[in-house]
Amino acid sequence: MKIRLLIADDHAVVRKGLITLLEDEADLEIVGEAVDGQDAVEKARALKPDIVLLDLTMPRMSGLEAAKLIADRQPAVRTLVFSMHNNQEYIVSAVENGAWGYLLKDNSREEILLAIHTVANGEKYFPPQISAVLAEALVNKNRPKKADKPEGGLGKLSRKERQILQFIVDGMNSREIAEKLILSVRTVSNHRANMLRKARVKNTVELVRMVVEEKGK
């Protein structure tokens, strides 16, 4: 029994090229062409191919959307992505949306035929370069994320404000801090007001308490 193929690509040159490439294969039958994602979904339902060779970037409906609809509505029809996109986002999204395989448009004829026969036999197919991308995505997904250090309201303070805040914690008043940092008392007072606003507290006592709590973590 022949493997029935539907070719979906918005570029006529690509569709004709694939037909020329595959039409002489005795066990393959090209049952139709689709010019965009919506057309692919409709013809997959009408023509009932075994495999849809599916481009990803198409008008009206993307290949990703088409792959998901075909997988949901016609699980017997398997989508095999045929794309120029070799990045992790596209590859992972294609798999998540039900694609059975992923080919690049610069893959050889032998690779394309191997993919078609593998998918037709009920197995998923990813060339080595695509498998490497999927493996990396899986590793990154399972890698524990570094916990962000809780900073509370103090995380918004500038280096100068933190320096002034430490002097406040040490018991120094605005005049003493101004002399220490060679600033005007008015400048120190402005920094204090900004710290209260950034930390969202009402007074210096609450600000100092936040410092103590932060150090205790």
Residue recorded with tokens 């965009």: 36
| CB hemisphere CA count around 213 (13 angstroms) | 11
Dump pLDDT digits (tens) for 133-188: 888 888 777 666 555 444 456 778 888 888 998 898 888 888 999 998 988 988 98
Dump pLDDT digits (tens) for 98-137: 999 999 988 899 999 999 999 999 999 998 889 988 888 8
Q: What is the DSSP string of 145-207?
A: PPPPPP-GGGGG--HHHHHHHHHHHTT--HHHHHHHHT--HHHHHHHHHHHHHHHT-SSHHHH
Dump pLDDT digits (tens) for 53-109: 999 988 888 999 999 999 999 999 999 999 988 888 889 999 999 999 999 988 899
Distance (Å, rounded) from C-alpha 181 to C-alpha 161? 12
Alpha carbon distances (Å) from 183 to 32, 151, 160, 215? 79, 27, 11, 27
Domain annotation for the chain: domains and CATH numbers: 3-142 (3.40.50.2300), 152-215 (1.10.10.10)
